[in-house]
Structure formats: structure tokens, C-alpha cells
Amino acid sequence: MSGVDSLWEILVVATVVALAGLAVIVGLVRGGGKRGGKSDTTTIERPPTTPVEVEPDGDRPQPPPGEGVEDIGGGVAVEVEPEPTTPTLERPASARGRLARLRARLARSNNAIGNALLALLSSGGLDEQSWEDVEDTLLQADLGVEATDELVGKLRTRVQVDGATDPEVVKGWLREELLALVDPSMDRRVAASRVGDRPAVILVVGVNGTGKTTTVGKLARVLVAEDKDVVLGAADTFRAAAADQLQTWGERVGVPTVRSDREGADPASVAFDAVKSATEYEADVVIVDTAGRLHNKAGLMDELSKVKRVIEKQSPIDEVLLVLDATTGQNGMRQAEVFGEAVNITGIVLSKLDGTAKGGIVVNVQRRLGVPVKLVGLGEGPDDLAPFDPEAFVDAIIG
Ligand code: GDP
Ligand code: GDP
Ligand code: MG
């Protein structure tokens, strides 16, 4: 080996070391967080590209691969070791009409309720037994005792006064009364636009396994389809895999995830950093995922209160979404009340409505918590989350 060659090797090694050193410094600065030693536990995983402009209607021509994708001077890893391939970003389905698209799925699991009710109501000669059967059907659909009494009371009055047995007329009444219970007047918009000069902050809470992380991922897609700049925060630090799961969702649509690589890192600190980065990047919205399991319930509630308190040092929280698994019925409802005591819930996401004939829970949970169902999960697919639309929902149920 000649002297020139080894000199060359030394130069290369030195350059690599210098670049790596620079990269670490850049990483620390970008990572933010001025409190001692905090910043190096939280890394901001920026995808190597900004999101490709998304045209929800898909009528704009797509740029050829590589174009329309611009380097934002990305993360550390990009400078030292360029990504071997530019990931192809997915185009999420537009939010509008999602529930209509998923209607068949909702109907499949839930129109048994509608069918049973209509069969009973239009059978003519409604006796006491028939009304009890109507009640049972509604209770089985998880409508709850209070709403069931109300609905049956109203229908009985109408049948008494008008004496109609024409199935179409009865169906119309049922539709009207169900819709009134679902309450179309509630504001179901999800706060996801900048508020003044800061991003909107959404906190997502709920018991383990209800579908929080999936919901955050799906919601990010809904928002990307609306051309929003989204940042995700992986404040479920209970398991390292939780952050990976979230980051994967983000990467598919070009959304960065603020996370910690350390299992058991302080979730409040990750949440703090997520909101901070979103502010720095002038994002439209930051969505913070949280853990649903700790050593005990009190511990979890303390942790959530702390996450909330620490975020609020920087920014008001605009939305706290509680994810509830629609298949868990009364049990889910009790969980919801416990969460409601720790954080101020502003909206409900009902997940897994595709797998249950208990759509009545929409009405029940809204009454118990006094907040609207804003989104519904209707499957495991990436675009199986829809804004909740009372009319489409009732139509799907009664066919
Ligand atoms: P987390 O523990 O609350 O974060 O729950 P995950 O987001 O990890 O979801 C738990 C499981 O529920 C996963 O297998 C999801 O695919 C599934 N899941 C989430 N939402 C829905 C839904 O709307 N429908 C169905 N069928 N499955 C869902
Ligand atoms: P207290 O627990 O209510 O007294 O609030 P602290 O001010 O002690 O903050 C509690 C936690 O919030 C800290 O342990 C951090 O995890 C987080 N935190 C608060 N301020 C910052 C900050 O400026 N940067 C980061 N990264 N985390 C912060
Ligand atoms: Mg999770």
C-alpha cells in the first residue's frame, strides 16, 4: 500500500468522523429541549422529503417520480448516510365521503337493529309484548336505558296518535327519532388548523388496545389529504414498539414523528418536544399519542394529567380525543368516565364500529360524557377512519 493511499484513507476517515460530529451537533440543536440531558433522549425523525402535494380529488396530474419532492435539508442520517431509496408517499383517501364509502361496512354490522325494529313496528297491532321487544332490540344495540325509554316513548305516542302501520311511514318516524337522539346539532369538527400563529394541538387518550395509535395514524392521513402539515408525537413510551408503530404510519404519508428511543422515557417530555417542533416547523397541527396502560389506573391518570399540564406550558390543547372501542359496551363507558376526570375530553373516536352490531353506543356515550362522537373507525385499513356524520350513520343503520 503506497503512502499516498494510506494518507487518502486517513483523510476519508477524518472526513467521516468530522461529518458525524457535525451531524450530532446539528441533531442536538434540531432536537431542541434546553433542559439538562433531555434533548438527547428525544429524536425528531424527519422523513427525507416533504409530503408530496396531495390532491384529494386526484384530478391533478401526478408529478413523475422524484419531481415535486423537495429536500428540506433533512435529518442527520440523511447527511451521513443518504437513504438508499426515496420512499414513495401514499395518497390517502379524501375525507369527504369517507363514511359514505364505508357505509356498507357499517350497515353490514348494524342494520340488524334497523331490520328488527322495522319488522316489529310495521307488523301492525303493536301490543305490550311488541314494545318490549323494541326496547330489547335497542338495549342490545347499546343505546342505553335512558335513550331507549325516550325513543320508545316517542314512537308509542306517534303510533297511538296516527295509528299508522305503513312501513314507510314508520321507517320515517324511526329515522327522525334516531337522528334526534344522535343529535345533528353537535359540533363535530376536529380542531386541526393553526390557531393564530401556533399549530393546533390534539391529544389522543384511551385504554390500551382501543386503537389510539391506529387512530392517530389514520387521522394524520385524513389531514394530509386536506393538505395540512402534521407532526406526530409518540408519547406512549411504555413500549418502544409503540413509537415505531406510530412512526411507520407517519412515514407512509411523509409526516414526521417526534419520539424517544428510550423505553420508559418521560412521556410529558416527548409531548413537550412534539409541540415545540410543530411550533418551530410552523405545522398546522400536532397529534400526540399516549399510553393506555401503566402499572395501575391511578398511575396512568397521573401521567396523563402531567402530559396535559406540561404541554400547556407551551400551548393550549385544542382537542382531547378519547378513543373508545365500540365492542366493549358498558365497560368502555366506565373507562371513558375515568379518563374524563383526568383530562377534559372534547371528542370521542369510536373505533371498531365495523365489528359490532352495537351502533347505539354512539348515542349512549355522547349522553354520558356530554361530548360528540367526532370520528368513527370502521376497519383496520389505513383509510378506514371517517368523520362522523349523523345522517349517514342513521341511514346505514335503518337501511
Ligand atoms: P392502542 O393500544 O390504543 O394504541 O391500539 P392500536 O392502535 O395499536 O390498535 C389495536 C388493534 O385494534 C390493532 O390491531 C388495530 O388494527 C385494531 N383497530 C383499530 N381501529 C380499528 C377499527 O376501527 N376496526 C377494526 N376492525 N380494528 C381496529
Ligand atoms: P412539574 O412536574 O409540574 O413540577 O413540572 P416540571 O416543570 O418539573 O416539568 C415536568 C416535566 O415536564 C419534566 O420532567 C419534563 O419531562 C417536562 N418538561 C417541562 N419543561 C420542559 C422543557 O422545557 N423541555 C422538555 N423537553 N421537557 C420539559
Ligand atoms: Mg398505541
* Percent of the chain's residues with pLDDT above 70: 77
User: Are the CB atoms for 154 and 177 separated by under 8 Å?
Assistant: yes
Alpha carbon distances (Å) from 370 to 150, 329, 363: 17, 17, 10
User: Are the CB atoms for 285 and 310 separated by under 8 Å?
Assistant: no
Q: Which amino acid would we find at residue 121? A: L
More confident residue, 322 or 75: 322
Ligand 3 centroid, distance to 281 Cα (angstroms) = 25
4 pLDDT more than 80: no
Which residues share a beta bridge with 354?
Answer: none
Please give the sequence-ordered ranges of beta strands (E in DSSP) within 21-142, or none if there are none. 42-45
The answer to whether 206 is a known ligand-binding residue is: yes
pLDDT at residue 130, as a whole number: 85
User: Are the CB atoms for 155 and 173 separated by under 8 Å?
Assistant: yes
Q: What is the set of domains in the chain, with CATH numbers?
A: 200-345 (3.40.50.300)
More confident residue, 10 or 93: 93
298 pLDDT more than 50: yes
Best probe residue, ligand 1, of 214, 321, 339, 349 (max atoms within 8 Å of C-beta): 214
Query: 64 φ, ψ to 5°?
Result: -65, 155
Range in 163-172, 200-209, 210-219, 390-399 with the lowest mean pLDDT: 163-172
The answer to whether 181 is a known ligand-binding residue is: no
User: Are the CB atoms for 199 and 285 separated by under 8 Å?
Assistant: yes
Identify the top-confidence range among 44-58, 164-178, 217-231, 335-349. Answer: 217-231
pTM, full prediction: 0.79
Ligand 1: residues whose CB is within 6 Å? 206, 208-214, 292, 351-352, 354-355, 377-380, 384
User: Could you give the 3-state DSSP secondary structure of residue 97?
Assistant: coil
Alpha carbon distances (Å) from 122 to 99, 113, 178: 29, 14, 17
User: Which grid coordinates are listed for 396?
Assistant: 346505514
More confident residue, 50 or 298: 298
Nearest CA to ligand 1 atom 19: 211
pLDDT at residue 117, as a whole number: 82
Which residue from 242, 298, 309, 241 is spatially nearest to 269, judged by alpha carbons?
309
User: Could you give the 3-state DSSP secondary structure of residue 295?
Assistant: coil
Buried b (16+ CB within 10 A) or exposed e, 4-37: eeeeeeeeeeeeeeeeeeebeeebeebbbbeeee
63 pLDDT more than 60: no
Ligand 2 centroid, distance to 219 Cα (angstroms) = 27
Nearest CA to ligand 2 atom 9: 310
How far is the C-alpha of 238 from the C-alpha of 43, rounded, in Å? 17
User: Are the CB atoms for 24 and 40 separated by under 8 Å?
Assistant: no
102 pLDDT more than 60: yes
Ligand 2: residues whose CB is within 6 Å? 33, 35, 38, 266, 268-269, 272-273, 309-310, 313
57 pLDDT more than 70: no
User: Are the CB atoms for 89 and 254 separated by under 8 Å?
Assistant: yes
User: Could you give the 3-state DSSP secondary structure of residue 320?
Assistant: strand
How far is the C-alpha of 228 from the C-alpha of 253, rounded, in Å? 11
3-state DSSP of 201-254:
EEEEECCCCCCHHHHHHHHHHHHHHCCCCEEEEEECCCCHHHHHHHHHHHHHCC
Mean pLDDT of 65-81: 34
pLDDT at residue 101, as a whole number: 82
Q: Which ligand is nearest to the CA of 275?
A: 2
pLDDT at residue 5, as a whole number: 57
pLDDT at residue 258, as a whole number: 98
Q: Which amino acid would we find at residue 52? A: V
Work out the angle at residue 179's Cα, subtended by the Cα atoms of residues 178 and 180, and round it to the nearest 5 degrees: 90
Q: Which amino acid would we find at residue 125? A: G
The answer to whether 125 is a known ligand-binding residue is: no
Which residue from 353, 348, 350 is spatially nearest to 378, judged by alpha carbons?
353
pLDDT at residue 66, as a whole number: 38
